[in-house]
Every structure is written in structure tokens, then in C-alpha cells.
Amino acid sequence: MKTDLQIAQANEMVDIREIAQQIGLTEADLELYGRYKAKISHHVMDRVQNNQDGKLVLVTAINPTPAGEGKSTVTIGLAQALQRLDKKAIVALREPSLGPVMGVKGGAAGGGHAQVVPMEDLNLHFTGDMHAITTANNMISAFIDNHIFQGNDLSIDRVVWRRCVDLNDRSLREVEINLSRLTQDFKRNDGFDITVASEIMAVLCLANDLDDLRMRIGRIVVAYKVDNTPITVANLGIEGAVTLILRDALLPNLVQTLEKTPAIVHGGPFANIAHGCNSVQATKLALKLGDYAVTEAGFGADLGAEKFMDIKCRMADLKPDATVIVATIRALKMHGGVEKSELTHENVTALKAGLVNLEKHIENMQKFGVPFVVAINKFVTDTDAEVQALQAWAQQHGHPIALCEVWEHGGAGGEALAKKVIEICDTVESNYAPIYELSSSIEAKIETIAKEIYGADHVEFSEEAQEQMIQFKANGWDTLPICMAKTQYSFSDDPKLLGRPSGFTVTIRQLRASVGAGFIVALTGAVLTMPGLPKQPAMLQMDVDAEGKAIGLF
């Protein structure tokens, strides 16, 4: 077992080939991007496919607040802790989106002593996956418009494919397309989504291999004829070209944590507007190459974890062995009614009031039949009385719980959590099952999620959504799973309703058929697929010094 001193003495990154050796890979299995990052070649999965799977551990969380939850930090720290306990652990994460990094987060590679490195590369251009996805998406748009301009042989009447960019840019939410200055015949309204909310991102993350990627790209619906007959990328004849652009982006990326734990970082879909999980290939590789694959799903368990269970696991034939639900005392106090400015003050009463949010997430994870443990992600402002109150509540209700201090102590601060996870995986059987059947109607599936997971009383469908359900059923898409697009801050579709709201209605304003990805997106409330920048974006604090080192990228 490694000591803190040994880790401190070895805090420099090592050559990525050394990390690869830890999990049985050679230089021939890698496509090197410098000394500290590499892509894992296509042939590796073929070679290891008969390996026994390790344990699959999902890290999720309560509803996020501006106070921060540190889910990625806990995910990384847990993998480091498992490694300290002599388990071959691999962390499988999503790639950060440049838009939020420059806008709000300022970095998304973990924090403190639980980080994935090289952090600067990861948060900026990394290995170019985001750029490839953006280019592939927009090449489809360019081809559609050129097809229309050149005579429209497919009789396209209505285009539904949107452009994308890996930035937060509210001015691009709605744009006007005009294919010719000489005529208005080709004028239409259009818009951009952020790259991580694009269907190309989802397709890349859910594809099992290159052939599956090509098939999924081909069935993407981009437009309709006047009689509502769908037109796909395959109808355009460019599925091969799009696959070619994404060929290298499909390869999972190998990096390392601060404690030299292997990290496979690949794909980056948002969980409030997309399915919020890293790639299927990355997760499966981690399972084949390690004893424990520790992965995460974005935002609260009502979003990322639900989609992980109902979409990713179902499609990829995965069976999670345990779930970690991250909770912070700061966030629980906010759910209990405390303003962000008052979070540094001890308030056990507010903490107890906010526990209803954690309680609902626990109930939800139990509905999927997967055993869980609550992780208290400790902040320096948490008092002993607050920590003890949370632990006492968990003990009273029979919920396994562990204090987690990985931000401050790295893997050493996560050993208590790691031991709980090992115990659960070894002694408690996972009876994972999705919460709805694919044979149910679109309406029934949405209502199941809204009522069972969110706690809604009713679901209201707009006229547009009702018409779309009829059309999607006629097209044979009603057997696809549902990807809910909802605010991350609340169980409801109103971000102001914290805690555990009740008596509310979820409004479905629009449906989008992501047939290539293999799900139906249901847009709720006022959720947006292109975020904007805050008044003081994180980029205002960013720069580069004389030696080329990034400043302000944390």
C-alpha cells in the first residue's frame, strides 16, 4: 500500500506508456499524443474481449447547487483510493466542454489532490475529439444546404438538423439561413446547439465500434419531406465521410491521475440536455482492463444516473455493481433554504431540512436495484456537528455512508469510501433493471420518469409534443428510450424549486428524434440546448505566462 510520503515523492506525471503497462497495454496499443496522453487503438478491445469484467461503480450526486458538489473529484479520488488498497482501478470520465470551462467551471478535471492530468490539455483541446465532433456535425449541415441549393433531389421540405459549436454563445440559439442573396426561396430559421448536446456526440459515445458508428450516423434523421417522410444521413450518402472525420475521435483517450491511476477520458455529453455519460468503449475497456471501473454520470442522479441506467446500460449491456451518491453539507444546507453567502456558518437545522433531497435520490437508486453508498464530500467549512448530524441520519435509516476527503488528501482521503465500495461489491448483489419497458408508449415512458424519479404529480404535453408523438410512432420510433432535457438544479423543471418539491407538473414542450443515438429527447420547461455566458465568465481570469503555462484554469 502506498503511503502519503511515497505519493508526495512521485507527484510528477510519468510517461503515458508506464500508465499503459499498469493495465496490460504496450506501446503498440497506443497512438501517442506527446508524452502524457495517448489514444487506445481499435484492436485492443478485440484482444481483451474475453477478459473477465471488473466491477462497475457509478458515481452520481444530489441535485447540484452553486456551492458545488465535487462529483468528478470524488470519482477520481475513489479510483486513487482503490489503487492504494491494491485494487487495479481505472477511472472512466467524460471530456470537459470548452464552453463551460471558459464560462462557469473554469476547469473540469477534478480538484485538489484528486485530479486527472495533464489538466491544461484536458480542459482545452485535449486530443481534438470535440473539434472532430463539431466538424462532423457541421459538415452534415453544409451538405444539406448544398443539396437544397443544387436542386433538392430528395425533396427536402423541413430541415431539423442544427449546427453546433463548443462554446457558450446565446446569440447562436436562433439564426437565419439564406442560401442565396438573389432569392428568398431558401431562407429559413435555424440555430446552434453546444457540441456536447449534439447527436453526433451521443452517437460517438454510444457506438461500440467503427461499424456501429457508421450505422448510427447513417440513421440520423436530418430533415423531412412534405409528407413527413424522414430523410437520413444515409439518404444523403455521406455516412462514410462523417465516419472518416470521426475515425480518430472514436478512440478512447488514456491519461493519468495525480497518483498515477490510469484514466480513460472519452466523450462529453451534457446530462441536463444529453445522456451525460462517457463513451461505451471507454467504460467497457476499463471493465476489461481493471478490477474496478469507476465512472460518473453528469449532474444529479435524477438526470445523469437515470440516463446511465435507462439508456447507456440498456444499450451497452452493462450491469452496475454499486452506486456512490455524492452529497455535500454545503449543498444540503442550500436545499434546506440557506443562501450561498451563509454556507460557511454552522446550520444543522438547515442541513436536516435539506436531507429530503438526498433521501429522494437514494429512493431513486433503490428503484434500479443497484446497491449504493453515500459519500460525504467534505469541505473545510463543514463543522463536526454538521458531519455528525448527517452520519447519524444515515445510520438511523440504515444507509451506508462514508466521509470522503479526497480533495485535501487524495486517495488517502477516500479509503473509507473505497472500503465501503469494495464491501458492497463483494457482499451485496446488484439486481439492476431499468425503470420502464421499451415497449411502453413515449408518453408512458416520460410519465414514468417524471413521476417515479422526479416525483411529479402530472405531465403536460404541448400540442407540438403531442403531434410529434403521433408522428414518431408512425415512424416506428416509439420503442426508443427517453432522454429527458431538464434543469439540473431541481427534481422539477423549475430550477427554483429546491429540496424535494411535490405537487408539481412537468411540461414537455418539444420532442426531438435522435434516431442515430437511439433515443427520443424530451425538452422540458425552459431548458436550453445552447447555454450562455455569465456576467463574469471564468475566462476573465485566464491567461498564459512567459513560459507558456496556463493561468486561472482550475
* Catalytic-role residue among 192, 372, 379, 519: 379
Alpha carbon distance 196, 210 (integer Å): 20
From the list 143, 270, 299, 504, the catalytic residue is: 299
Of 182 and 272, more confident: 272
299 is a catalytic site residue: yes
State residue 548's pLDDT score: 87
Residue 179 is classified by DSSP as: S
How big is the CA angle at 298 (ends 297 and 304), to the nearest 5 degrees? 65
Residue 243 near residue 214, CB atoms below 8 Å: yes
Active site residue 39: no
Q: What is the pLDDT of residue 9?
A: 38
Please pick, among 132, 271, 305, 538, the residue that the annotation labels catalytic. Answer: 271
pLDDT score at 5: 35
Active-site hit among 39, 94, 284, 330: 94
The predicted structure's pLDDT at residue 178: 79
Alpha carbons 419 and 85: distance in angstroms, whole number:
8
For 498-508, what is the mean pLDDT? 96
pLDDT in tens, 446-478: 999 999 999 999 999 999 999 999 999 999 999
Please tell me the predicted confidence (pLDDT) of residue 41: 96
* Confidence category of residue 184, pLDDT binned at 50, 70, 90: low
Over residues 277-299, mean pLDDT:
96
The CA-based angle 394-400-402, given to 5 degrees, is 90
Work out the widest C-alpha separation in the chain, in whole angstroms: 74
Which residue is catalytic, options 270, 393, 407, 461?
407
From the candidates 38, 60, 61, 73, which is the catalytic residue? 73
* pLDDT at 106 (0 to 100): 65
Q: For residue 517, is pLDDT > 70? A: yes
Tell me the percentage of the chain whose pLDDT exceeds 90: 82
Distance CA 435, CA 365 (A): 10
Q: What are the DSSP calls for 385-447, one per residue?
A: HHHHHHHHHHHHHT--EEEE-HHHHGGGGGHHHHHHHHHHHHHS------SS-TTS-HHHHHH
Query: Which among 272, 134, 103, 105 has a CA at the least distance from the CA of 199?
Result: 134
Phi and psi based region of residue 515 (left: phi greater than 0; alpha: psi -120 to 50; beta: remaining): alpha
Label residue 371 by pLDDT band (50, 70, 90): very high
Q: What integer is the mean pLDDT of 177-196?
A: 78
Confidence band, pLDDT 50/70/90 cuts, at residue 7: very low
Contact 537, 103 (CB under 8 A): yes
What's the pLDDT at 181?
59
Known catalytic membership, residue 94: yes
pLDDT, one tens digit per residue, over 29-87 is 999 999 999 999 999 999 999 999 999 999 999 998 887 778 999 999 999 999 999 99
Predicted local distance difference test score (pLDDT) of residue 6: 41
Average pLDDT over residues 547-551: 87
* Distance of alpha carbon 308 from alpha carbon 276, whole angstroms: 8
Cell of 291: 478490477
Q: Which domains does the chain have, with CATH numbers?
A: 4-127+250-427 (3.40.50.300), 129-246 (3.30.1510.10), 442-524 (3.10.410.10)
Reported as type and span, the H/E element at residue 257 is: strand 253-257
Q: Say which residue the cell 469484467 belongs to.
A: 53
* pLDDT computed for residue 185 by the predictor: 65
Residue 504: active-site member: no
pLDDT of residue 233: 98
Average pLDDT, the chain: 93
> Which range, of 131-135, 359-363, 519-523, 531-535, averages the lowest pLDDT?
531-535
At 109-158, the pLDDT tens digits run 888 999 999 999 999 999 999 999 999 999 999 999 999 989 999 999 99
Is 379 one of the annotated active-site residues of the chain? yes
491 or 526: which leads in pLDDT: 491
